[in-house]
Amino acid sequence: MKNNFIDRLEANLKLPLPGLQAQAKMAFGDGRLNYDLSKIPKDVRPAGVLVHLYIKNEEWYLTLMRRTDRGGRHGGQVSFPGGGLEDSDKNLSEAALREANEEVGILPKQVTLLGELTNLYIPVSNSMVYPFVGYSLTPPNYDIDPMEVKEVIEVPLAHLQNPSNIKKTSIPFPGNIILKNVPYFDVFGNVVWGATAMMLSEFLEILEK
């Protein structure tokens, strides 16, 4: 059975979304997107991710995960469960649910989808990511794929909504490259930045309505 929180969230997801304006608040580069939307390659790879809410200890939580170092360009980073569209998927929401099941064991039949956030282009992997918001009334029985996932990170929504947990840091990359003053969510010492932080930014703005 849904409650008032879910009813309001579902209604807000049907309204015009804050989109790039909200995403850009957590983008590297002082709130400016570092790519030109008009020049996205035609061979862009579509992907679906699941913004999964569930009730635990009488409050709402969100599922995040840390990828293993084998996760390609995004290895070691914190993200939503999800991945690329495959031929067997009917659509992107099915891809998001399938990947969430394969990666961390969230059962698709236990998830009720409420709507979508604004899709987001990730230049480093040439992916167009479509975030789908869904909920379960009970915590998942996580079963991670150790080849892809290092750990599941359960975070209360109240933690993400606390402005004191939005900070800036430096992100090192191979080749002595360092990104400075990168905005991120501090989730119990985990640095949640980049595309995941940008999608979270829009989601939290929708919640504030």
pLDDT for 1 equals: 47
pLDDT for 174 equals: 75
| 196 φ, ψ (degrees, to nearest 5) | -65, -45
**Tens digits of per-residue pLDDT, 42-83?**
899 999 999 999 999 999 999 999 999 875 555 789 999 999
Nearest CA to 89 out of 98, 81, 79, 101 is that of 98
pLDDT > 70? residue 2: no
> Other CB atoms closer than 10 Å to residue 6's CB: what's the count?
17
| 176 φ, ψ (degrees, to nearest 5) | 60, 30
The mean of the pLDDT values for the chain is 92
Average pLDDT on 72-101 reads 92
**Tens digits of per-residue pLDDT, 172-202?**
877 788 889 999 999 999 999 999 999 999 9
| 174 φ, ψ (degrees, to nearest 5) | -55, 150
The topology (CATH level 3) of 4-208 is Nucleoside Triphosphate Pyrophosphohydrolase (3.90.79)
pLDDT for 177 equals: 83
